[in-house]
Amino acid sequence: MAVAAALRQLGRPYVWGGGSSAGPTRGGFDCSGLALHAWARAGVRLTHYTGSQFRQGRRVPFSRLRPGDLVFFGGGTGDPAHVGVYAGGGRMIHAPRRGDVVKVTIFATSSYYRARYRGAIRPTG
């Protein structure tokens, strides 16, 4: 259900701070707003901050990722800086950056994303 909700937002513009449980705000989403919206459609409440979303579920090893899991990237040793909704097949749905749109990216074989991969969670409650 979370994946379907995220896929319905493909093409929406990236908007810093954008997104809510109800949908886009100011016309779009940022990465954590898209994750928050997708999981709200599945009945799970998340905060609108990547760092706290990283702590709002059960850790999932890369080898056990399932569609809907949240995948996190960057941030060095601090909070992750980016989140996407795992879509299966090494792909994620995400709102990458200003000037871009919500899209599907193959991250599992991307040297950029794999080097910045921080882990994944399966949201709970």
The answer to whether residue 82 is catalytic is yes
The answer to whether residue 37 is catalytic is no
pTM of the model: 0.96
Nearest to 43 by CA among 84, 2, 7: 2
For residue range 51-100, list pLDDT tens digits in order: 999 999 999 999 999 999 999 999 888 999 999 999 999 999 999 999 99
For residue range 23-60, list pLDDT tens digits in order: 999 999 999 999 999 999 999 999 999 999 999 999 99
The full DSSP string for 43-106 is T----S-HHHHTTSEEEE-GGG--TT-EEEE--TTSS-SEEEEEEETTEEEE--STT-B-EEEE
Q: What is the pLDDT of residue 125?
A: 64
CA atoms within 13 A on the CB side of 112: 5
Catalytic position from the list 12, 37, 48, 82: 82
